Amino acid sequence: MAIWSTSANDEGFNSRLHEICFKTNLDYDNKLLPWDIIALISHGRMLAKCELISASDAELIETHLQDMKQEALDGSLKMLPELEDCHSLIEDELIKRAGDAGKQLYMARSRNDQVVSATRLFGKDKLTKIKQTLKSFIDELLSFASKHETTPMPGYTHTQRAMPSSVGLWASSFAEILINQKEAIDAAISLNDVNVLGSAAGYGTDFPIDREFVTKDLGLARTQVNSLSCQLSRGQVECQSLQALWGTMFVINRLANDMVWMTSAEFDFLDVGKSCTTGSSIMPNKKNLDPCEIIRSRYHLFTGQISQAQGVISNLFSGYNSDYQETKGVFMEGLTLVEESLEAMGIVISNTSIKEERLLSFFSKDIYATDLVNRQVIEGKTFRDAYIEVKKSLDSVELEDPYENVKRKTHLGAPGNPGLDILKERLANFI
């Protein structure tokens, strides 16, 4: 029987329509289940504090909810196909276990504020874990950069060899941009670090409740004040949270793409261990960097998830709309995609080594042309005159020791001084 039915004799919701509209929510609701229960535990405590239910009923309710939370975490309590959502499951199960006391919990709340509350708690937790995973990945990148800090590597513009660079500069370029994502992720965490319980269906309640008590009990930063704004923010917060992670996915997409090319026979700059590569079913010579190809593609899946979230919530009338349920999946899947992509790239980087001799073989005379121009300028020529003279006689450019060339470039951020100590210091303040 649906939670909104008055009796078992009510005409049931069309079973095929239920399957089409609600079946896909099962997995997502199982993920929300523990968070929904956590929110309801605080709600029950608040009802007792406001003397809306007895202390003994509140204690009985919490005892059963704590058990149910653990069961939700270990998977023994989970959604059933015939149930509409996780809120229905909790209510049905609590009443079975606590009897009439369980029915007391369902005042001064709605499934509308319950689902937003559970999603915010889930989002805050997941974003915090993503931030920790990102920090570990940046650590791995900086370790790789430190190991090969001034090892010469050709630098490219327009996908053509351009100037001397270093492995340390290449690897730490990704690390620095990822460090810069901290503020965006912190902003996303802050958007989720709010209490919406007590807003009910979007229009508050007659009950004399204490929303600030729930906020503090859940350990959240603030209460979302306006009841209607709690519904208006549904989907919007999910969308902005995903947008906050766009920069992270963009950077690891670029890194993954570089690695696919740099491990190819045409470049052959890097070597990734067998534990991170695959072979071919018909070509015994193949060693494929599938993980990086998959990460490269997942960036585009992720931008699609952002687009889905944006599209679903546009042009909706104020208040609750069932359209909102379609943001649940893209939000959860998007966060998981980012977290797993970072973990995967960390594994790949930790199993990556460089092919130093191959890197050095790419240092032909022309790669030193710009350095020759710069030296002539230092000796007194104007830059444009030196540029024209060198360009007219590129054959006269001499080979240099690539190690000495890189070490000579010592200003902050140059190939010989990528500023790794500064980046490590910034990373130390990441969490």
Distance CA 258, CA 348 (A): 13
Q: Would you state the structure tokens that stand for residue 306, as one six-digit string?
A: 């952002």
Judge contact between 272 and 290, C-beta under 8 A: no
DSSP assignment letter at 223: E
Distance CA 188, CA 184 (A): 6
- Report which secondary-structure segment, H or E, holds 161: strand 160-166
Distance CA 72, CA 34 (A): 6
Judge contact between 131 and 189, C-beta under 8 A: yes
- Report which secondary-structure segment, H or E, holds 354: strand 352-354
Distances (CA, A) of 311 to 169, 187, 247: 39, 22, 20
Integer Rg of the chain from CA:
29
Distances (CA, A) of 316 to 187, 241, 319: 25, 20, 9
Judge contact between 158 and 409, C-beta under 8 A: no
Q: What is the pLDDT of residue 4?
A: 47
Distance CA 355, CA 335 (A): 35
In the chain, count H helices and then E strands.
19, 6
Tens place of pLDDT per residue across the chain (431 aa) = 555 455 555 666 777 776 666 665 778 899 999 999 999 999 999 999 999 999 999 999 999 999 999 999 999 999 887 777 888 899 999 999 999 999 999 899 898 999 999 999 999 999 999 999 999 999 999 999 999 999 999 999 999 999 999 999 999 999 999 999 999 999 999 999 999 999 999 999 999 999 999 999 999 999 999 999 999 999 999 999 999 999 999 999 999 999 999 999 999 999 999 999 888 888 888 889 999 999 999 999 999 999 999 999 988 889 988 888 889 999 999 999 999 999 999 999 999 999 999 999 999 999 999 999 999 999 999 999 999 999 999 998 999 999 999 999 999 999 999 999 999 999 999 87
Distance CA 56, CA 62 (A): 10
**Residues linked to residue 165 through DSSP beta bridges, in sequence order:** 153
Three-state DSSP class for residue 69: helix
Whole-prediction pTM: 0.91
